[in-house]
Amino acid sequence: MQQKRTEISTLGEFGLIEHLTKDFPLLNPSTCKGVGDDAAVLDMKDKRVLVTTDLLLEGIHFDLQYTPLRHLGYKAAVVNFSDIYAMNGKPTQLTVSIGVSKRFCIEDLEELYSGIRIACEHYGVDMVGGDTSASMTGLCLSMTCVGEAQAEDIVYRNGAKANDLICVTGNLGAAYMGLQLLEREKMVFEGNENVQPDFEGKDYILQRQLKPEARRDVIESLKKHGIKPTSMMDVSDGLASELMHICRQSNTGCRVFEDKIPIDYQSAVMAEELNMNIVTAALNGGEDYELVFTVSLDDYEKIIPIEHVNIIGHMTKPELGLNLVGRNGEELSLKAQGWPQ
């Protein structure tokens, strides 16, 4: 059956915005006015306002050959929420701006916005505005998230001290291995369109790449146990890169133990299939959107019972450098290798 297709030109810019945003309810008392005026109106009273933004470009940050539009919308929203949680805050409002070419229709954009709406409802965030534009180069997404926090609760990157424990949530490398799986199956499909993709037993790493989650649960657990991290970031560019940022801004070094880095079984199996080093993927792969944070050694007893948190090392004096301790005790300089685009 042929899928319904409504050309964007039938609605016009303002009609399109109204059509795509009419089902977004307002969930926060700080939202006085959402979509429909020249600007959103927010009332934050005595709290600090947190603002973050992300730009996602087709062909650079996502490939629509294997990324469903609904998943893309969800992911694009969640990566912004993750930045707010990484400041120990709460995301409250989101603006969404898109650039679209003529190859997209209204139904395509409905799918995209349905993913954004699901993310907003799940995390309790209001979508309050944005912009639309024509694009000559494919789909472009720009999102800005506003959050709030009490001044005394905000966690920056520059608060770590020597002997602080280094913690990460969840596991690392799964999103990157999911991307490698999708790219492999894309190459196979382009060579023979009659071949079906082989994703059996790989559902977890696919989910981590296509539909990541922000670690609201861990932020809530830390508050419940009376723990305020001394520094924190979300793992968007890879653990090594994030640790380098924290060490540089906190003027510290670090020691991370290879055998303490949490890795999921599916990630390890995928790495073996592709003849890749899973630890390198965990350190440099990115897009896991887990949290890496430091806590005072005094909080050791408090941090141990918190679910989904792993202690992987400790901070050191800056002159000791950034080091990865191998499984046999050897020490290697920790570098943000990154991956070629």
AA identity, residue 308: H
Whether residue 158 lies inside any domain: the answer is no
Asked whether the predicted pLDDT for residue 98 surpasses 70, the reply is yes
| Residue found by looking up tokens 């472009």 in the block | 140
Comparing 48-57, 62-71, 192-201, 233-242, the range with the smallest average pLDDT is 192-201
264 with 328, same domain: the answer is yes
User: Which pLDDT score is estimated for 279?
Assistant: 95
Whether residue 44 lies inside any domain: the answer is yes
Q: How many CB atoms lie within 10 A of CB 10?
A: 10
Phi and psi, residue 162, nearest 5°:
-55, 140
Whether residue 2 lies inside any domain: the answer is no
188 with 325, same domain: the answer is yes
Q: Which residues of 123-161 are buried (b: 16+ CB within 10 A; e: fewer)?
A: bebbbbbbebeebeebbbbbbbbbbbbeeeeebbbebbe
132 with 225, same domain: the answer is no
Burial of 29 (0-12, 13-18, 19+ CB in 10 A): exposed
Give the domain range for residue 224: 165-333
Q: Which residues contact 340 (CB under 8 A, 6 or more apart)?
A: none
Provide the sign of the torsion angle of the four alpha carbons 280, 82, 241, 292, taken in this order.
negative
| Residue found by looking up tokens 């650079």 in the block | 60
- The answer to whether 230 and 88 are in contact (CB under 8 A) is no
Structural domain total, the chain:
2
98 with 208, same domain: the answer is no
| Residue found by looking up tokens 């073996």 in the block | 272
In CATH, what number is assigned to the domain containing residue 207? 3.90.650.10
Average pLDDT of the residues in 322-329: 94
Angle at 208 between CA 72 and CA 334, to 5 degrees: 115
136 with 16, same domain: the answer is yes
SS3 state of residue 313: strand
**If pLDDT is split at 50, 70 and 90, which confidence band does 159 have?**
very high
Whether residue 100 lies inside any domain: the answer is yes
The CB-side HSE value for 151 (13 A sphere, CA atoms) comes to 2
User: Which pLDDT score is estimated for 339?
Assistant: 41
Average pLDDT of the residues in 13-37: 82
- Residue 43, both tokens: 């009332």
Pairing of strands 31-33, 41-42: antiparallel
- The answer to whether 233 and 85 are in contact (CB under 8 A) is no
User: Which pLDDT score is estimated for 325?
Assistant: 96
**If pLDDT is split at 50, 70 and 90, which confidence band does 38 have?**
low
145 with 39, same domain: the answer is yes
172 with 127, same domain: the answer is no
pLDDT in tens, 119-156: 999 999 999 999 999 998 899 999 999 999 998 999 99
User: Which pLDDT score is estimated for 35?
Assistant: 76
The structure's pTM equals 0.90
109 with 227, same domain: the answer is no
What are the Cα distances from residue 89, in Å, to 74, 153, 218? 20, 8, 12
d(CA 34, CA 37): 8
Whether residue 159 lies inside any domain: the answer is no
Whether residue 15 lies inside any domain: the answer is yes
Percent composition of the chain: helix, strand, coil (DSSP 3-state, to 5): 35, 25, 40
Domain C-terminal end among 122, 152, 182: 152
SS3 state of residue 242: helix
Angle at 84 between CA 79 and CA 90, to 5 degrees: 120
Phi and psi, residue 75, nearest 5°:
-65, -45
d(CA 193, CA 268): 28
Asked whether the predicted pLDDT for residue 14 surpasses 80, the reply is no
Whether residue 160 lies inside any domain: the answer is no
pLDDT in tens, 207-221: 999 999 999 999 999
